[in-house]
């Protein structure tokens, strides 16, 4: 079987939303009104920490597909002022968020135990204002949210190969900038971080056999597998990966922006930045290359995302091993594309409704587990009741 990225078609039921005259779609989707629709038509559970568990109406998979969003739309009306990364979320909310992640990942493993039959993935994306606001594809909902997705391996295997040069798979050439231009610097910086459960791993060992992805991304195998995800230590290390990435990203693009820039304010690992980055000629020479190109190439400069933009992912491969990876995300590829899965959404209400009962059954079952763990209260919609065991 040929290894390569796959493109699958996923039917959905068109959403009956009327966008007010004079508004662009991304402007409306970023509004509190759109979040009201998300709650009332697709909401499954919410809690006092403002974490909303909901069904993905425009999903990536009809096997299992749900999200948790930190719904601050009524608390912070300025979309650019909302928390969009885990490091910006209050500790109490993070604790509840981690517990919800544990319940959902545990359910996915239990309901879809065979790694040869199902690909399991969950992860999150930063949705801050790191694109130029005039660019198409500016993130629609500027709030941090998680994805929980299960793909049928047989559907992936029988799907057409995706174009490997698709911008969303290559991320415009910047996706692998750190790895391709500063591989050793990048790895050595992460090696200084305090990781015990997350073991660095490279090459085919971390890739999906079917797609050959992730490519050009740092990966860590989760020592102890799924059992480690239930430990507080895992989530501390998961945050260390994010904080290390943020420090590296901010340090690099600070040097791109301003020659001989100082250590970024509020850096998490200032000593590592000093020791591993600011005296490293390869690191600074690469920043100069990017800086010079920005000065000379307006199109290239317009694609730069000056603030940390990432997607962080936990996934299970075909051998049942669990991994963490993090992407430098410069253009806006879907989180599934980190694993070489390109989703083509197709409006087809009948096909979606054929898959909907099994999907909803899974979502109601895991919702009840969240309720039992005191992680929120059920939401009733026209598609399902509230407070009923799944």
Report if residue 344 sits inside a domain: yes
Phi-psi map region of 135: left, alpha, beta (phi>0 left; psi -120 to 50 alpha):
beta
DSSP 243-268: HHHHHHHHHHHHHHHSTTPPPPTT-S
- Whether residue 302 contacts residue 112, with contact meaning beta carbons closer than 8 Å, is answered with no
Per-residue confidence of the chain (390 residues) as pLDDT tens digits? 789 999 999 999 987 777 788 777 666 666 666 677 788 889 999 999 999 999 998 889 999 999 999 988 888 877 778 888 888 899 999 999 999 999 999 999 999 999 999 999 998 887 654 555 555 545 456 778 899 999 999 999 999 999 877 777 765 444 567 877 888 899 899 999 999 999 999 888 999 999 999 887 889 999 999 999 999 999 999 999 999 999 999 999 999 999 999 999 999 999 999 999 999 999 999 999 999 999 999 988 877 878 887 889 999 999 999 999 998 765 556 789 889 999 999 999 999 999 999 999 999 999 999 999 999 999 999 889 886 543
Q: What DSSP state is assigned to residue 336?
A: G
Q: What is the pTM assigned to this prediction? A: 0.92
Q: What DSSP state is assigned to residue 331?
A: S
- Whether residue 171 contacts residue 217, with contact meaning beta carbons closer than 8 Å, is answered with no
Residue from 134, 174, 344, 328 nearest 250 by CA:
328
Residue from 251, 255, 318, 245 nearest 288 by CA:
255
- Dist CA 314 CA 298 (whole Å): 36
- Dist CA 252 CA 198 (whole Å): 24
Angle between helices 281-296 and 177-191 (to 10 degrees): 150
Please count the structural domains in the chain: 1
Report if residue 302 sits inside a domain: yes
Contacts of 180 (CB under 8 A, 6+ apart): 216
- Residue 270: both structure tokens together: 């200032």
Neighbours of 284 (CB within 10 A): 16
Which single residue is written with the structure tokens 């597909």?
65
Alpha helices in 23-130 (DSSP H): 25-29, 32-42, 91-111
pLDDT at 389: 47
Alpha-carbon torsion, ordered 75, 59, 378, 121, to 10 deg: -90
Report if residue 209 sits inside a domain: yes
Report if residue 363 sits inside a domain: yes
Q: What DSSP state is assigned to residue 308?
A: -
Report if residue 383 sits inside a domain: no
The domain in which residue 164 lies consists of 6-378
- Dist CA 364 CA 357 (whole Å): 10
Q: What DSSP state is assigned to residue 273?
A: I
Q: What DSSP state is assigned to residue 191?
A: H
Report if residue 354 sits inside a domain: yes
Report if residue 388 sits inside a domain: no
Report if residue 387 sits inside a domain: no
- Whether residue 129 contacts residue 85, with contact meaning beta carbons closer than 8 Å, is answered with no
Burial 42-77 (b: 16+ CB within 10 A, else e): bbbbbbebbbbbbbbbebbbbbbbbbbbbbbbeeee
């Amino acid at each position: 079987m040929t290894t390569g990225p796959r493109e699958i078609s996923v039917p959905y039921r068109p959403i009956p939303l009327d966008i007010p005259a004079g508004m662009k779609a991304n402007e409306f989707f970023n509004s509190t009104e759109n979040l009201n629709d998300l709650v009332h038509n697709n909401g499954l559970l919410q809690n006092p920490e403002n974490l909303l568990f909901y069904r993905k109406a425009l999903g990536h998979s009809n096997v299992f597909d749900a999200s948790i969003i930190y719904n601050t739309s009524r608390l912070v009306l300025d979309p650019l002022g909302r928390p969009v990364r885990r490091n910006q979320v209050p500790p109490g909310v993070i604790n509840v968020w981690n517990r919800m992640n544990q319940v959902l990942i545990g359910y996915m493993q239990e309901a879809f135990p065979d790694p040869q039959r199902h690909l399991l993935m969950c992860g999150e994306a930063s949705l801050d204002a790191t694109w130029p606001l005039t660019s198409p594809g500016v993130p629609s909902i500027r709030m941090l949210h998680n994805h929980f997705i299960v793909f049928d391996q047989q559907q992936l295997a029988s799907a057409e190969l995706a174009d490997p040069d698709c911008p969303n798979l290559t991320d415009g050439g910047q996706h692998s900038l750190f790895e391709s231009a500063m591989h050793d610097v990048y790895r050595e910086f992460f090696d200084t971080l305090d990781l015990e459960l997350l073991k660095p791993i490279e090459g085919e060992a971390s890739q999906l056999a079917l797609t050959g992805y992730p490519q050009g991304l740092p990966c860590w195998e989760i020592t102890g597998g799924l059992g480690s995800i239930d430990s507080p230590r895992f989530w501390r290390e998961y945050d260390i990966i994010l904080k290390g990435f943020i420090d590296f990203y901010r340090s690099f693009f600070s040097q791109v922006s301003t020659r001989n820039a100082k250590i970024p304010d509020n850096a998490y690992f200032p000593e590592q930045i000093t020791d591993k980055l600011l005296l490293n000629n390869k690191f600074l020479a690469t920043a100069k290359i990017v800086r010079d190109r920005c000065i000379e190439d307006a199109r290239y400069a317009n694609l730069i995302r000056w603030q940390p933009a990432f997607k962080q992912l936990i996934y299970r491969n075909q051998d049942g091993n669990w991994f963490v990876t993090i992407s430098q995300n410069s253009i806006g590829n879907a989180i599934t594309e980190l694993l070489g899965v390109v989703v083509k959404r197709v409006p087809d209400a009948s096909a979606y409704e054929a898959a909907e009962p099994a999907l909803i059954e899974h979502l109601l079952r895991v919702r009840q587990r969240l309720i039992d763990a005191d992680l929120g209260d059920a939401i009733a919609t026209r598609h399902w009741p509230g407070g009923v065991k799944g």
